[in-house]
A and B are shown apart, each in its own frame.
Chain A
Amino acid sequence: MGQQMQGERRFVVSMLAPMFLILACFYLYPTFFNLYNSFTDLSLLGLRRGGSFIGPRNYAKLLAGADFYRVLWNTAVWLTGVSVVVRVVLGFGLALLLNSETVRRYHLVTVSRLILLVPWATPPVVAVIVFRWLLDQRLGAVNRALLALGIVDAPIAFFGDVHWVWPSVITIIVWNTLPMVGLTFLAALQSLPEELIEAAEVDGATAAQRIRFVILPHLRPTIVVITLLSTFWTFNNFLYVWLTTAGGPGSYTNVIATEIYIKAFIEYQLGYSSAIGIFAALLMAAFALVYLRVVARREFREIL
């Protein structure tokens, strides 16, 4: 029995070792580098000689500045919160649409799936270029259409007007990443056995009730995983905001990743930017802990 357990343990270790080896080599040194440097005044130009130790001053400066709370708010609420919710809701709707009887009858599912792959495969920088042009105030197609249809009497400055800039940035993110969410939900939906829906219909359930009591519970594991992954990817995302507005107008759309970039590569304050990065990582860790314990408990029940 003891030998079997030993062999078992060896097996587990040998299976996990490659993964942890790769992860350790890749993430450990940067983590310690940033952790250490967050307590120094390291400058980007001083990489060779290093920075001098200044204790928790970077963190104090971080937490004392009023600017940072707005950055946090932008990142957590606008960049991550709203965009993830929009993606999950629209993705769900997209899945229902593509799985609907009408679409299936006309054999449009495959074509739709292929069309959805196109925005997913487009590089973010190009997505930003396209939408900045489409939403341009003077020459963009969207404003021209709005004016022609009489919906507005003056063109909208989508990226220059503070009421519109976040929705516009979120639109770009959604365009680029909704296909992934939608196709994942669609696949999960297609695995739902027909009998369950039929049984509900036979029982007289309305469409809304069918969604609530049959479809949603079946999709819940997928929704939970996708929400978690999307939150992680979006919270730390740099390119979308930077390429669209660079955190502007002013610092209206500044998020954590753009703030780190500015502090590290524009103001040369590598130590301070490490402090921001560590702080952001702690926030994400707290979120993940709560999320895995509370929301994902059922899905990963065995493991957690």
Chain B
Amino acid sequence: MARHIPPLMLALVLAAALVTPALAQVTITFRYAFPDGDLIRDALVDFEKRNPGIKVNLQRSSFAEARDQLVREAAVGGGPDVAHLAFVWVRDLGIAGALMPLNDLVKTKGVGQGWDDFVAANLTYDDKGNFYGVPFATDTWAMVYNRQVLTAAGIAKTPETWEDLRNASRQIKQRTGKTGFGFPGGAGGNNSIWFLCNFYWWSDGGTLVDRDTSGKYVTGITPEKIAEVFRYWDSYFKEGHNPKGNLAVAQIFEPQIMEPLARGEQGIAILPVWSYISLVSDWRKRNPNQELPFYSAPTPHGSGKPTTHLGGQSLGVNANTKQPDAAWKLVQFLTSWDFFQTHYKAYYPAQKSLLARMNFPPEMKGFQEQFTYARSWGPYSTGPAVIGAMWNQTARSFGSAAIGEKSFEAAGKELYDFVAEQLKKQ
């Protein structure tokens, strides 16, 4: 009998070892909204190795639909455990009850290098001090110039003011016949003219939504200033150095913008980080062993400094999740330096200390500088105005003035009134 005990004990121990992890197995879903889900899949394999007992199901969705899908699911108590969201959606989704407040989890378990290290964290708060998302990756827009085209047009200096920019664009068209600054001026929920207008206003001391000293949300601009900036962007179309066809293009990554850039038939562009990376990689594949003609630089400025927005994506935890601890482990992993170093190499972490450690290749130096000038959306997102509504209306008002349906003054007033109407809700 005594001789059987060790094998028996071995068998018991083995059985326990096999059964226990199975009992402790937890499955969570992570919904990722960008097309490069392959990167995340590899990262999740890594995560599962580090956290035996947690299995992650990767769901993919199209970015345009991600927010609406979550809103619907929130209304009925469903949705993924961890969701990949835009910076500016987090607050709305939190207030709508789709995401759970993370104050306790951050306090007790921590994340990244500390909550203060996260950029644009203010966008994740509601009015009561709860916050609902962890900033994940950040990006911004910067100018991209084609050195060869500039030289051919006789432009020696990178434009610094808005007037410089327009002159350069004009000159490119006149001297080389190529497109100067080709930017999308079209309508739609994700249009680009919204960014261009805001960059100008911000760098000139104005802003659509501001907060006064008493904490009330007000408009920080006049209708005349809005009209002036509309007229400025429209002049590119009227003078012909931005082709009229771009009035029907809304998003930066459309081939109507990217293809002429890649072919060297356009001198100036404004691009978000990822579109630029994609352009550079595309160009390198088409022109192997040649020197890259592109370089990036900060956006022009008016009376103030060059200013762009701090854009990016956040991670949120579903308010209805049954596995908050496992979900939080995933969030911690996805905001770690390891993750960005090993799997998510081309993205910029939304944490100041990690961003400082990032290596910016020569063509990305402009973006590195731009990050120091970038500002968070702030009152646009924390105020009562629906950011998407203002975003859409800007393109609509601009477009109708550009095609001559209304005067620029009327268009400026239209947008101003729209924003004022939105702010009434507070």
Q: Which residues of A line the B interface, CB within 8 A? A: 44-48, 132-133, 136-139, 155, 157-162, 165, 242, 244-252, 262, 265-268
Q: Is the CB of B392 within 8 A of A265?
A: no
Q: Is the CB of B247 within 8 A of A248?
A: yes
A170 to B179, CA, bound (A): 29
Q: Is the CB of A157 within 8 A of B400?
A: no
Interface flags for B239-264 (1: CB within 8 Å of A; 0: not) read 00001111111100011100110000
Given A45-B96, A48-B96, A267-B388, also A246-B245 (CB < 8 A): no
Given A47-B72, A246-B250, also A159-B97 (CB < 8 A): no
Contacts of B185 in A (CB 8 A): 249
Q: Is the CB of A249 within 8 A of B402?
A: yes
Contact of A248 among B75, B187, B259, B260 (CB under 8 A): B187
Q: Is the CB of A267 within 8 A of B386?
A: yes
List the A residue with the shortest CB-CB distance to B186: A248
Contacts of B247 in A (CB 8 A): 157, 159-160, 248-249
Query: What does DSSP make chain A's interface, helix, strand, loop or mixed?
Result: loop
A-contacting residues, B81-124, CB 8 Å: 92-93, 95-97
* A-B pair number, CB within 8 angstroms: 129
Q: Is the CB of B256 within 8 A of A249?
A: no
Q: Is the CB of B400 within 8 A of A252?
A: yes
Contacts of B260 in A (CB 8 A): 138-139
A246 to B64, CA, bound (A): 13
Q: Is the CB of B246 within 8 A of A266?
A: no
24 example contacts (A-B, Cβ-Cβ < 8 A) are as follows A45-B92, A45-B95, A47-B74, A139-B260, A155-B245, A242-B188, A244-B248, A245-B186, A247-B187, A248-B395, A249-B187, A250-B187, A250-B397, A250-B400, A250-B405, A251-B187, A251-B396, A251-B400, A252-B400, A262-B189, A262-B392, A266-B189, A266-B388, A267-B386
Add 16 more A-B contacts to A252-B399, A267-B392 (CB < 8 A): A45-B93, A48-B74, A133-B255, A138-B243, A157-B243, A157-B244, A157-B248, A161-B244, A245-B248, A246-B186, A247-B396, A248-B395, A249-B400, A250-B400, A268-B386, A268-B388
Q: Which 4 A-B pairs have the closest CB atoms?
A: A248-B187, A250-B399, A137-B245, A246-B188
List the B residue with the shortest CB-CB distance to A159: B248
Tell me, yes or no, whether B71 is within 8 Å of chain A by CB.
yes
A-contacting residues, B186-230, CB 8 Å: 186-189, 191
A161 to B247, CA, bound (A): 8
Q: Is the CB of A245 within 8 A of B187?
A: yes
Contacts of B191 in A (CB 8 A): 246
List the B residue with the shortest CB-CB distance to A263: B389
Interface flags for B292-333 (1: CB within 8 Å of A; 0: not) read 000000000000000000000000000000000000000000
Tell me, yes or no, whether B11 is within 8 Å of chain A by CB.
no
A139 to B256, CA, bound (A): 8
Q: Is the CB of A160 within 8 A of B396?
A: no
CB A160 to nearest CB in B, in angstroms, measures 4
Q: Is the CB of B392 within 8 A of A266?
A: yes
List the A residue with the shortest CB-CB distance to B77: A48
A132 to B260, CA, bound (A): 15
Interface flags for B128-172 (1: CB within 8 Å of A; 0: not) read 000000000000000000000000000000000000000000000
A45 to B176, CA, bound (A): 51
A100 to B96, CA, bound (A): 62
Contacts of B72 in A (CB 8 A): 47
CB A268 to nearest CB in B, in angstroms, measures 6
Contact of B405 among A46, A246, A247, A252 (CB under 8 A): A252
Q: Is the CB of B389 within 8 A of A266?
A: yes
CB A139 to nearest CB in B, in angstroms, measures 6
A250 to B71, CA, bound (A): 28
Tell me, yes or no, whether B265 is within 8 Å of chain A by CB.
yes
Contacts of A158 in B (CB 8 A): 245, 248
CB B201 to nearest CB in A, in angstroms, measures 20
Contact of A137 among B75, B95, B96, B244 (CB under 8 A): B244
List the A residue with the shortest CB-CB distance to B396: A251
CB B75 to nearest CB in A, in angstroms, measures 4
Given A48-B75, A267-B392, also A252-B248 (CB < 8 A): no
List the A residue with the shortest CB-CB distance to B393: A267
Tell me, yes or no, whether B233 is within 8 Å of chain A by CB.
no
CB B383 to nearest CB in A, in angstroms, measures 14
Q: Is the CB of A138 within 8 A of B402?
A: no
Contact of B403 among A137, A162, A244, A262 (CB under 8 A): A162
Contacts of A159 in B (CB 8 A): 245, 247-249
Contacts of A47 in B (CB 8 A): 71-72, 74-75, 96
Tell which of B68, B188, B398, B402 has the most Cβ of chain A within 10 Å. B188
Tell me, yes or no, whether B419 is within 8 Å of chain A by CB.
no
List the B residue with the shortest CB-CB distance to A47: B75
Q: Is the CB of A160 within 8 A of B248?
A: yes
List the A residue with the shortest CB-CB distance to B405: A250
CB B28 to nearest CB in A, in angstroms, measures 23
List the A residue with the shortest CB-CB distance to B388: A266
Tell me, yes or no, whether B401 is within 8 Å of chain A by CB.
yes
CB B231 to nearest CB in A, in angstroms, measures 15
List the B residue with the shortest CB-CB distance to A248: B187
Contacts of B388 in A (CB 8 A): 266-268
A42 to B259, CA, bound (A): 43
Contacts of A46 in B (CB 8 A): 96
Contacts of A44 in B (CB 8 A): 68, 71
Contact of B402 among A250, A266, A267 (CB under 8 A): A250
Q: Is the CB of B399 within 8 A of A251?
A: yes
CB B73 to nearest CB in A, in angstroms, measures 10
CB B334 to nearest CB in A, in angstroms, measures 26
